[in-house]
A and B are shown apart, each in its own frame.
Chain A
Amino acid sequence: MTSRPVFFFVRYGLILLALVIVLIPTVWMGTMAFKPFPEWTTATGDLTWLPKEATWGNFEYIFTGQTEDLLVTLDRTAERPILASLLTAVLGTAIAVIAGTLGAYSVSRFKIGNNLPLSVLQLRLFPPLAVMIPVMIMWASLGMVDTWWGLSLIYGIVTLPFAFWLMKTFFDDVPIEIEEAALVEGCSRFRVFWKVTLPMVKAALASTCLFVFILNWSDYLIALLLTRKDWVTIPVYMNSLASAMGGQMYGCKAALGLIAAIPPVVLGIAIQKYLVRGLTFGALKQ
């Protein structure tokens, strides 16, 4: 590593630039959420960074359907989409991570299914739209459109390759001797997996959960195609926050966006310990 000052400035300059690019829209969303209707656009005045008259009105509006600023009454409020998003994203993540972990372990440890990893990956090589139309037809004929299980299932299937591949690389890194040692000590195969291997990759498991959850949580396309009314998720619902009179309801969308950011952030903080600690398969002297 060089420590010449010019590199110092270039390096930190670039980091700063990246941070600005990432954070400014986020900050903009954060302040927008508290701006009253007239401050949303330039239509009635100047745009400011901070709200001139901060208000909870946007939050009130999306949850109750009305607020004094706006004449339009919302026919659907945000609780139901938030619930739908939470339920389907969590279930979809559970399906993908459980199936992906078991599959990845089998492929990593037993010399079978050599083509499986690549065929699983193939699932991701199709353009989503090319896959989604047949899926829509299948789901419709199975009566799974606009149901929580139908959406959870497709989330699980779509994110399975990620869970599978992430977990496979982690399992590949667990030395086989660790498992052999546990076997010789008297463990059954399943117990080896449950008591030894899985605890050793729990950091990896946590990262995989977070990653898959964020994928499911932020999905728009699938929910748009597979839900109608009852199980519309946050991103789809957000798109409906517009009216003929008021146009795009930026403040309300920002408020909803702020709420939608909470679960990934909370989850990220909750498992931060594992994310930071990373993977230490230390006790092997090679």
Chain B
Amino acid sequence: MAAIRLSHLTKKFGAFTAVDALDLLIPDKEFVALLGPSGCGKTTTMNMIAGIEQATEGQILFDDRDVRRLPPNQRDVGFVFQNYAIFTHMTVYDNLAFGLSVRKLARAEIDRRVREMAALMRLEDRLEWPSSKLSVNELQKVAIGRSAITEPAIFLLDEPLSNLDAAFRAFMRTELKHLQHQFQQTMVYVTHDQIEAMSLADRIAVMNLGELQQYGTPAEVYNRPRNTFVANFMGSPSMNLLPCRLIAEAGALCFGFGEAGRLDAGGDGAMQHRARAAAGAEVIFGVRPEDLEIAPPDGPGGLKGVVSFVEPVGPRTIVHLKLAEQTVKVAKEKRYKVSIGAAVRVTAPMAKCHLFDAASGEAIGLG
């Protein structure tokens, strides 16, 4: 059981910086997801924690132990690889027993723990199988079992669910959560799937281009994105990010969207405050599709638009609207009916809207 502290962790491959001065504290027994698009440095970070990759600069502490110079076999971590890395020349039993036999445990003890793990992973009837004959789902279970069996203090998972079929993925998601609860390990989980990260993790570290974008609980990251990258990456469909102009008229503030109209910053104190902080700058107005409302075209306020496309996605219907210069997505309930080409008006409750600096992409007025 250990907390992981990364400070100023940097990895360079020649001139390319894969991870740039990463500072991250992963508390003991927490489930942390490293989330980001491919190439963002999340797997490299993971490899450095495991010791597979040597850090170029910075520190890696497990509790107070500096492990940066330790080889992977002395770090007491478990690692589940994206492609599972099962030893195909061995049986399932030998794969599960591998870590224990390397640690030279007594044969009876190994046998007991292998059977226990097999039962947990529902692999009892596969134990004597050559692992080359397993299905993808079973390979995944062997991979997790093999890493979990030595009860490492830190458990690292690199996109473990990305190759599984949808039904089994949902099952494994639950199973992983149970497993973490049972073993009380610190878990680091690399994924590019924000839904996976949201549903599994205690905390999410959103990364992009080797840099940490935001680190917080799923709710924080979702509700208070620090910048447009996080805002755009979290949530499906992603947040509407609309460049607009701040207009101050007769003491009231509003957001101008050209021909489409204006949104009044209105009585919402927080938004007023944030908009003042922006003080005349070009801003990006962010609002999640599920927070937008569609109203008849002839009411007051809101932005004028035309329905350009309707996308039914199971539980919801995504309505694409064409404004004068921009397009927005609005998420409605699945029974929602609207015809393409219909003129509508879209309104946004200010309390649920976000404001970003157009130049830097940073959130404005977030403490």
Contacts and interface: CB of A to CB of B under 8 A. Distances in A.
Given A180-B52, A185-B102, A187-B73, A200 B88 contact: yes
Interface of B is mostly: loop
Interface in B128-151: 131-132, 134, 136, 139, 146-147, 150
B86 interface: yes
Contacts of A187: 73, 102
A281 B88 contact: yes
Interface in B78-105: 78-79, 81-90, 98-99, 102-103
Contacts, number: 85
B163 interface: yes
B132 A184 contact: no
A283 B73 contact: no
A144 interface: no
Contacts of A196: 87
Nearest to B75: A184
A42 interface: no
B319 interface: no
Contact of B52 (A183, A199, A285): A183
A186 B103 contact: yes
Given A185-B150, A188-B73, A283 B79 contact: no
A281 B131 CA distance: 11
Interface residues of B, number: 33
Contacts of A282: 88, 132
Contact of B83 (A186, A280, A285): A285
B163 A191 contact: no
Nearest to A184: B79
Contacts of A283: 84-88, 131-132, 134, 139
Given A180-B52, A283-B132, A283-B134, A186 B150 contact: yes
B50 interface: yes
Nearest to A199: B89
Interface string A190-224: 01000010011010000000000000000000000
Contacts of B150: 185-186
Contacts of A284: 83-86
A182 interface: yes
A13 interface: no
B21 to A, nearest CB: 25
Nearest to B78: A184
Contacts of A280: 88, 132
Nearest to A283: B86
B73 A178 contact: no
A2 interface: no
B163 A285 contact: yes
Nearest to B79: A184
A75 interface: no
20 contacts: A175-B83, A180-B50, A181-B81, A181-B87, A182-B98, A183-B71, A184-B51, A184-B52, A184-B73, A185-B102, A189-B71, A191-B102, A196-B87, A199-B90, A200-B88, A283-B86, A283-B131, A283-B134, A285-B83, A285-B136
Interface of A: 175, 177-178, 180-189, 191, 196, 199-200, 202, 280-286
Interface of B: 50-52, 71-73, 75, 77-79, 81-90, 98-99, 102-103, 131-132, 134, 136, 139, 146-147, 150, 163
